Amino acid sequence: MTQTANVREFNVEPELDSKTIHAIPPCVVHDTPVLNVLDESVHYGDWRDDLARDGYCVVKGVLEKEKALKYADDIKDWLEGFGLGYKRDDPSTIREECLPIIHQKGLLQAYGATHESFTWGVRSEPAVIDAFAHLYQDPDLICSFDAVNVSLANRQDLPANGAWPHQDQDPERGGLRCVQGFVNLLPNGPEDGGLLVLKGGHKVSEEYHNVFRNEPRDFRWTNEMYLFKETGLKWLADRGHEWVKVDAEPGDLVLWDSRTPHYNASPKKNTDRFVVYVCMLPVSTATQEDLIRKKELFEEQHGHSHWPMALQPFIKAFLEPQRNGKPDPHNTWKPRQPPQLSERGYKLTGIPYIKA
């Protein structure tokens, strides 16, 4: 089954499915396989126990602290390299006119960030790949071409990020299908913003969506996303599920089941939040059509969502950063320092697995 996708302009009303009360997303993707890699009744003796039980986990010290901090410095070099006035040691420069346009939620999906050398450096770290290989018991992996998160502390020109609880998996497709993640690059404590998860929420996902199947859904850019409403959040709270702020040290790998309700919050104190989103799946989950599309995206230096099969290429019309009401001329969609990939890193692109 191959991907189908269509794009609509922002000012066009979403089409309604005649059989339901839901808006049809502009990007609808093919089905994905259920992963039989976690069983809560099995004792693994490592972080997989946490992931199976709670729907998330922190894999400690995947990178050495000094290496993680060096990647954070690389991102600061990159921000300063725009020449707009940002200086890492001058809080007065933490404002839009001194920076690339950064989404309120900290996401950087434009400016070539998805294929910058520091982004690929983190993805290609052997210990990061090893963690996913250990999870899936499979060395042949592909990775997402996803965003980085640059949430600068003490930003006065952006409102704090409000709660936006969601799951990144089609509500009509149950079971464990994807494990998302990021490598944390700076100290991230209770007041430093970051990931919040609904502990154990993944275990009631199928029941939840059966109960709320006929509740109207707000606009989603893809079917592989679901936004929770207050009615659903109350249902989950009534069953004892609580929100947990996930803390992490530089070099920790944070993972979560895509069914787990989650969102990210802005820093409240003086510590920035820098992470590189990394998601990997066995190459066996991708079709040859997926891999060919992934090759095209890599060669065009274009990004896509967390699904490593390149199910959802970033839609530039949705992501084009605007400066003073016009497309930002500083955004070329190309990395300033393209990556030099290792053999193992290159395999993550999926290209070596394309059949002749």
pLDDT in tens, 204-235: 999 999 999 888 877 666 788 899 999 999 99
Among all chains, which residue has been given the structure tokens 């890699």?
37
When pLDDT is averaged across residues 289-300 and rounded to a whole number, the result is 97
Residue environment code for 232-261, b if the CB has 16+ CB neighbours within 10 A, otherwise e: bbebbeeeebebbebbbebbbbbbbbbbbb
Q: What is the pTM of this model?
A: 0.92
pLDDT higher than 90, residue 254: yes
The pLDDT confidence band at residue 160, using thresholds 50, 70 and 90, is confident
pLDDT of 25 reads 66
pLDDT digit string, tens, across residues 273-287:
999 999 999 999 999
Going along the chain from its start, the domains and CATH numbers come out as 48-353 (2.60.120.620)
Check residue 55 and report its DSSP letter.
S
Q: Is the pLDDT of residue 144 over 70?
A: yes
Tokens of 283: 């190459």
Mean pLDDT of the chain: 91
- Counting residues of the chain whose pLDDT is more than 70, the rounded percentage is 92
Kindly report which listed range (8-12, 140-144, 316-320) carries the lowest average pLDDT score: 8-12
Q: Given a cut of 50, is residue 6 above it in pLDDT?
A: no
Predicted confidence at residue 119, as pLDDT, reads 98
pLDDT (0 to 100) of residue 17: 47
Confidence of residue 24 (pLDDT cuts 50, 70, 90): low
Residue 14 has pLDDT above 60, yes or no: no
Q: In whole angstroms, what is the distance from residue 309 CA to residue 292 CA?
A: 10
pLDDT at 31 exceeding the cut of 90: no
How high is the pLDDT of residue 219? 66
Residue 3: pLDDT over 90: no
Q: Which residue has the higher pLDDT, 5 or 41?
A: 41
Cα-Cα end-to-end distance for the chain? 20
Q: Evaluate whether 143 touches 114 at the Cβ level (below 8 Å).
A: no
Region 20-28 average pLDDT: 61
Share of the chain above pLDDT 90, in %: 81
For residue 286, the SS3 value is: coil
> Mean pLDDT over residues 153-160, rounded?
89
Cα separation, 151 vs 17, whole angstroms: 37
